[in-house]
């Protein structure tokens, strides 16, 4: 398993691979490396919320109920996918040697 912890916890790589024993913590993508993924995604969510408001004019309480969990879920999944892609890009060339 590549991920340590539960699904609802912040994504963190496991310390080492259970199969081959390679240290994974040195490949952790964090900080500024994730900005190119998170910022455009949040901008897309904001523009989506504004577009939904233009079309349907829902009550104000609906927006935090819908967009809050949607934002957290999408950003969490995007961060996990990005970290997995960075890990795959960094580890794959070593495995082919």
pLDDT at 77: 87
If we measure between CA atoms, which residue out of 90, 42, 31, 92 comes closest to residue 67? 42
Which residues, including other chains, have CB under 8 Å from residue 28's CB and lie 6 or more apart?
12, 13, 83
23-70 residue pLDDT tens: 777 776 666 778 888 899 999 999 999 999 999 989 999 999 999 999
Give the residue extent of every domain in the chain: 29-95
pLDDT at 96: 53
What number of residues does the chain have? 97
- Taking the C-alpha atoms of residue 81 and residue 38, their distance in angstroms, rounded to an integer, is 11
Residue 97 has pLDDT above 50, yes or no: no
Using a 10 angstrom Cβ sphere, with 0-12 exposed, 13-18 middle and 19 or more buried, the burial of residue 24 is middle
Long-range interactions of 7-14: CB distance < 8 A, separation 24+? 11/76, 11/79, 11/80, 11/83, 13/83, 13/87
Q: Which residue has the tokens 């900005």?
A: 35
């Amino acid at each position: 398993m590549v991920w340590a912890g539960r699904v609802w916890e912040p994504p963190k790589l496991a310390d080492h691979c259970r199969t081959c024993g390679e240290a994974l913590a040195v490949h952790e993508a964090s900080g500024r490396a994730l900005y190119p993924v998170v910022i455009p995604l949040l901008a897309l969510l904001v523009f989506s919320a504004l577009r939904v408001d233009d079309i349907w004019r829902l009550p104000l309480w609906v927006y935090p109920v819908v967009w809050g969990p949607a934002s957290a879920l999408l950003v969490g999944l995007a961060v996990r996918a990005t970290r997995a892609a960075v890990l795959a890009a960094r580890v794959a060339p070593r495995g082919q040697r």
